[in-house]
């Protein structure tokens, strides 16, 4: 019997390094999957993509734990029972990545995320969560089936759907980096007290939102009452583990080209090219 994959206790520095390494390895596996796809090795491409998705699931789990631990008792262990169970379970890692892609919590576009639409095109990923061992092996071995005959790795997947799935899974690293900033900003706002608003400020809000079509009157009343009451400062714990915003004045492009930031680097360079900015990738170590 193989040794069980057990996650040991982690220091704050190890958590950050682990997250970076997981994202770097996921990106490497998915890039290799695309290379295999271009060469016609569909089964091998899918096997590598499944491995990349598993690594992405582990990175998502680390991100979620860093968010959660801020609201737990001071001194709580970072590696909890849920993280321990997920670490040694292939299906749990794939299911977490699948749910992350369906919810699209940290993505942005011209409209809000549509989980049902996402679920429709992620059907292949859902199948991966149920048949991961068999599908991974299909990419490496020739087999024989009583009904269908010889099964070769090259015939193990549909090229177009696989290409689309790999492209979306490749975005997980970028979404997680966006999520780090979003969650850290939300938590910073949580600890900031808000004084009660004046009646003049409340009246201005009511006037501003009263013209919105579909705005329920009870919702406007609730917003006004929250402004009237103000908000006490929240308390966050386990500062060394939780997500933090960069220091004021920090270089926003500091992480370009760094290990674990491959997806972010790729997306920002694509955005720069779309905007006609001609910065050399050599500056980011690419």
- 3-class DSSP state of 68: helix
pLDDT digits (tens, 9 = 90+) for 177-217: 999 999 999 999 999 999 999 999 999 998 888 777 677 88
Q: Please, which pLDDT band fits residue 75 given cuts at 50, 70 and 90?
A: very high
Q: Which of these, 274, 33, 47, 37, lies nearest to 170 by C-alpha position?
A: 33
The answer to whether 189 and 245 are in contact (CB under 8 A) is no
The answer to whether 60 and 102 are in contact (CB under 8 A) is no
**Residue 135 corresponds to which tokens in the numbers above?**
């599908």
Pair type for strands 143-145 and 149-151: antiparallel
Q: Please, which pLDDT band fits residue 1 given cuts at 50, 70 and 90?
A: very low
Q: For the whole model, what pTM was predicted?
A: 0.81
Please list, in sequence order, all residues whose beta carbon lies within 8 angstroms of the beta carbon of residue 136, skipping any fewer than 6 positions away.
47, 50, 51
The answer to whether 129 and 94 are in contact (CB under 8 A) is yes
């Amino acid at each position: 019997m193989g040794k069980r994959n057990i996650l040991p206790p982690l220091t704050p520095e190890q958590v950050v390094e682990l997250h970076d390494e997981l994202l770097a390895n996921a990106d490497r596996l998915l890039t290799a999957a695309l290379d295999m796809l271009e060469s016609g090795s569909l089964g091998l491409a899918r096997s590598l993509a499944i491995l990349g998705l598993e690594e992405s699931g582990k990175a998502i789990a680390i991100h979620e734990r860093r968010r959660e631990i801020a609201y737990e008792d001071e001194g709580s262990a970072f590696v909890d029972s849920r993280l321990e169970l997920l670490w040694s379970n292939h299906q749990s890692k794939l299911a977490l990545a699948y749910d992350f892609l369906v919810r699209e919590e940290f993505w942005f576009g011209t409209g809000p995320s549509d989980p049902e639409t996402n679920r429709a095109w992620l059907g292949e990923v859902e199948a991966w969560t149920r048949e991961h061992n068999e599908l991974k092996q299909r990419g490496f071995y020739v087999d024989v089936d009583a009904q269908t005959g010889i099964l070769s790795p090259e015939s193990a997947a549909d090229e177009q759907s696989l290409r689309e799935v790999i492209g979306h899974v490749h975005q997980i690293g970028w979404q997680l980096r966006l999520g780090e900033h979003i969650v850290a900003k939300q938590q910073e706002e949580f600890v900031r007290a808000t004084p009660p608003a004046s009646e003049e400020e409340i009246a201005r809000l009511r006037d501003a939102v009263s013209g919105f079509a579909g705005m329920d009157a009870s919702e406007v009343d609730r917003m006004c009452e929250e402004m009237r009451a103000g908000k006490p400062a929240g308390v966050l714990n386990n500062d060394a583990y939780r997500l933090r915003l960069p220091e004021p004045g920090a270089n926003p492009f500091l992480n370009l080209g760094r290990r674990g930031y491959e997806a972010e680097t790729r997306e920002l360079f694509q955005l720069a090219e779309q905007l006609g900015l001609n910065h050399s990738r050599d500056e980011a170590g690419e």
